[in-house]
């Protein structure tokens, strides 16, 4: 199975276009590329200067304390906490056991713990996604198939996809033969999705 796609389509100045609705030839022309020769070395250098590296921007993310704090700063939870405090004050003033306040506080704490666990997992999944980014990809440049760092891809590069490789950039599929792509990391779907190069 061999397939080709143009890389980093969404990074181009014409990114407002619906690339999937354009023919392969139209996309190639808009990106000033060539299906068989790819980009020249000079074009690659110029585009790297203009667009920068093809990589996810690294962020430190939120620490555990920040994630936990965020769970209790939600406006609805703040209101519940205020209601629980007022309810407890009224119950104690009347020498009643503050059962309603305890119930509300229990719900707030459980909600906070659940939210913390879910958001921590989401942060870990994002970090794992960054680690999954491929480091080397095959491209056609100056009419020659060569391997380059994924971070060096530019809009208009012709990327070759083979069995088992990871997609290194957003792109418009140009040619495909029995191409199936696993999107489980993004969508959670376990079944591979069949792709073709036809316009929609």
Task: Report how far Cα 114 is from the mean position of its chain's Cα atoms.
Answer: 24
Task: Let me know how long the chain is.
Answer: 200
Would you say 20 and 196 are in contact if contact means Cβ atoms under 8 Å apart?
no
The domains of the chain are located at 2-55+136-195, 64-130
DSSP 15-54: TTS-GGGS-HHHHHHHTT--TTT-B-HHHHHHHHHHH--S
pLDDT score recorded for residue 184: 74
CATH (one of 2.60.40.3080, 2.60.40.10, 1.10.1040.10, 2.70.150.10) for 2-55+136-195: 2.70.150.10
The model's pTM: 0.58
84, 108 Cβ separation under 8 angstroms: yes
With a pLDDT cut of 90, the percent of the chain lying above it is: 19
d(CA 192, CA 200): 20
> CB–CB of 134/81 below 8 Å?
no
Rg (CA), the chain: 26
Residue 5 has pLDDT above 60, yes or no: yes
Residue 8 banded pLDDT, cuts 50, 70, 90 = very low
> At 14, phi and psi to the nearest 5?
-95, 30
pLDDT averaged over every residue in the chain? 81
- Which position has the higher pLDDT, 59 or 75? 75
């Amino acid at each position: 199975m061999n397939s080709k796609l143009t890389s980093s389509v969404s990074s181009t100045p014409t990114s407002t276009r619906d690339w999937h609705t354009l023919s392969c030839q139209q996309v190639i022309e808009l990106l000033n590329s060539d299906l068989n020769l790819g980009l020249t070395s000079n074009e690659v250098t110029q585009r790297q200067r203009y667009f920068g590296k093809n990589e996810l921007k690294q962020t430190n993310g939120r620490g555990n304390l920040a994630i936990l704090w965020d769970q209790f700063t939600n406006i609805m939870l703040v209101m519940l906490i205020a209601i629980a405090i007022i309810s407890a004050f009224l119950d104690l003033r009347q020498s009643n056991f503050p059962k309603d306040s305890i119930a509300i506080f229990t719900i707030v704490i459980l909600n906070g713990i659940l939210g913390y666990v879910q958001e921590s997992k989401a942060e870990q999944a994002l970090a794992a996604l960054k680690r999954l980014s491929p480091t080397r990809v095959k491209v056609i440049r100056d009419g020659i198939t060569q391997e380059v760092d994924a971070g060096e891809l530019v809009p208009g590069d012709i990327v070759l996809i083979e069995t088992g490789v990871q997609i290194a950039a957003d792109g418009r599929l140009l040619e495909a033969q029995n191409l199936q792509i696993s999107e489980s990391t993004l969508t959670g779907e376990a079944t591979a999705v069949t792709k073709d190069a036809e316009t929609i």
